[in-house]
């Protein structure tokens, strides 16, 4: 019995050591991924990655305030922009569970003076961005009004009399107007301010002590400043009065608080199973209630990102691997700001990724490259591959500037200066190209041969 106990104890120690070593290895790799973006001046902020009940990475990068050289950390508070929408959606579902509304109710039943064009718009349409109400952030005067304090009623007045862009429920079009309207409904139905309702219904019960409605005038400990990357370098971001984004994007939080939210929401500790299912079921264009529900290569991602002057955010949950990825940044302005979430999620789930700096060019015979020459239809435009000397070049008219490709294998090529872009050649049995696929920032874009 003693020998058996010793063997079991030894096996347990080995398993613990192996698990600890695995977590440490994952943490190191995750940190390397984020640091590669920091080194390229593409990211400053805080990142948290968790798998099951283990936090693999929770770290700040760069500075929360550049003028005082104050570093970002896990307790830094960032504006989360449109990630706020899922909290607005959850608040609506809380009211539904309390019997105060039905998601399928018409908006006009709560707003007696609603315009006639809204007669068929339901709360469901607002939640799923299928109402047809035009997005006020796309109006010509939007930039001019960002610094002006306002109210939800005034914002609604700016779009209420504009024609609908399509019949409600007909199609999807992202609209922050719908989420401002949802915040207004929350206030009317609950008899509380949007800010107070979220505090009482979500933040306080879940112990989210570092989350709330952002007010410019508030003196807030550990608040990050927002910065923009310009041709001249890093500058302070444009001032935005947070009364404008309101229920569509005015919340702040930390990585740690958002992990509490993820674990409560997807762990079934906040909403009923029926409400959670409805919130996370996509309606049109992979959009549910304040959440994108996307499946790629058999992996489901429930997520949302956000962007407001000086800040970028992403929060994603991967049910199959029980991985959570939270990225809060205080630097924007890059024309193609690379996204880290796909790499972080893949490594956290046990996969491997190759960083741009780790890609190695290999020689490929010119005779092989010649089989890839041709013009392809990529994102609606001509994209041409041609051999120059012993290298493959890609480009064309419009958006595709001519650049040399480097071979990572005999059928996969990468750009030297485009970090997360690669071109894969699809070949027939004779090795001739039949089509190509561009992998760009975690998304794949098939391109068949161009036919005039």
- Spans of all domains in the chain: 78-348, 359-448
CATH superfamily for 78-348 is DD-peptidase/beta-lactamase superfamily (3.40.710.10)
DSSP assignment string, 300-314: EEEEEEEEETTEEEE
Taking the chain (452 residues) in runs of 10, the rounded mean pLDDT of each run is: 49 50 82 93 95 96 97 98 98 98 97 95 98 96 92 96 97 97 98 98 98 95 96 93 97 98 97 98 97 89 95 96 97 66 93 90 96 94 95 88 95 89 95 94 88 86
Strand partners, 235: 228
Contact partners, residue 95, CB within 8 Å, separation at least 6: 101, 186, 189, 190
pLDDT of residue 163: 97
CA atoms of 144 and 124, how far apart (whole Å): 31
Label residue 161 exposed, middle or buried (CB < 10 Å: 0-12, 13-18, 19+). Answer: exposed
Contact partners, residue 24, CB within 8 Å, separation at least 6: none
Q: What is the pTM of this model?
A: 0.88
CA atoms of 98 and 92, how far apart (whole Å): 10
Nearest residue to 258 via CA among 314, 309, 339, 220: 314
pLDDT of residue 108: 96
């Amino acid at each position: 019995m003693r020998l058996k106990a010793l063997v079991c104890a030894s096996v347990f120690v080995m398993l613990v050591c192996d698990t600890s070593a695995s977590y440490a290895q994952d943490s190191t790799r995750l940190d390397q991924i984020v640091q590669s973006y920091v080194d390229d001046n593409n990211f400053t902020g805080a990142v948290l990655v968790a798998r099951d009940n283990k936090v693999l990475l929770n770290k700040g990068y760069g500075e929360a305030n550049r003028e005082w050289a104050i570093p970002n950390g896990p307790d830094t508070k960032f504006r989360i922009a449109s990630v706020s929408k899922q909290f607005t959606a959850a608040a609506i579902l809380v009211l539904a569970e309390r019997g105060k509304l039905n998601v399928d109710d018409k908006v006009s039943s709560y707003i007696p003076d609603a315009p006639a064009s809204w007669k068929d718009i339901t709360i469901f349409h607002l939640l799923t961005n299928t109402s047809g109400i035009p997005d006020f952030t796309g109006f010509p005067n939007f930039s001019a009004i960002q610094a002006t304090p306002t109210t939800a009623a005034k914002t609604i007045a700016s779009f209420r009399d504009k024609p609908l862009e399509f019949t409600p429920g007909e199609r999807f079009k992202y609209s922050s107007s719908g989420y401002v309207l949802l915040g207004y409904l929350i206030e009317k139905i609950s008899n509380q301010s949007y800010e107070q309702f979220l505090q009482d219904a979500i933040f306080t019960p879940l112990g989210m002590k570092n989350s709330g409605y952002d007010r410019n005038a508030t003196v807030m400990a550990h608040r990050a400043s927002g910065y923009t990357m310009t041709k001249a370098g890093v500058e302070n971001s444009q001032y935005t009065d947070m009364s404008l984004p309101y229920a569509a994007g005015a919340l702040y939080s930390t990585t740690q608080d958002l992990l509490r939210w993820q674990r409560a929401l997807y762990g079934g500790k906040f909403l009923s199973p029926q409400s959670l299912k409805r919130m996370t079921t996509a309606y049109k264009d992979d959009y549910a209630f304040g959440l994108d529900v996307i499946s790629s290569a058999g992996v489901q991602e429930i997520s949302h990102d956000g962007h407001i002057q000086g800040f970028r955010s992403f929060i994603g949950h991967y049910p199959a691997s029980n991985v959570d990825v939270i990225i809060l940044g205080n630097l924007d302005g890059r024309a193609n700001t690379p996204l880290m979430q796909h790499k972080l999620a893949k490594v956290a789930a046990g996969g491997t990724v190759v960083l741009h700096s780790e890609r190695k060019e290999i020689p490929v015979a010119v005779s092989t490259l010649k089989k890839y020459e041709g013009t392809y239809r990529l994102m609606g435009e001509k994209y041409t591959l041609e051999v120059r000397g012993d290298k493959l070049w890609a480009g064309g008219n419009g958006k595709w500037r001519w650049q040399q490709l480097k071979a990572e294998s005999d059928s996969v090529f990468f750009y030297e200066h485009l970090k997360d872009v690669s071109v894969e050649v699809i070949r027939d049995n004779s090795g001739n190209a039949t089509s190509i696929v561009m992998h760009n920032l975690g998304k794949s874009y098939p391109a068949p041969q161009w036919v005039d």
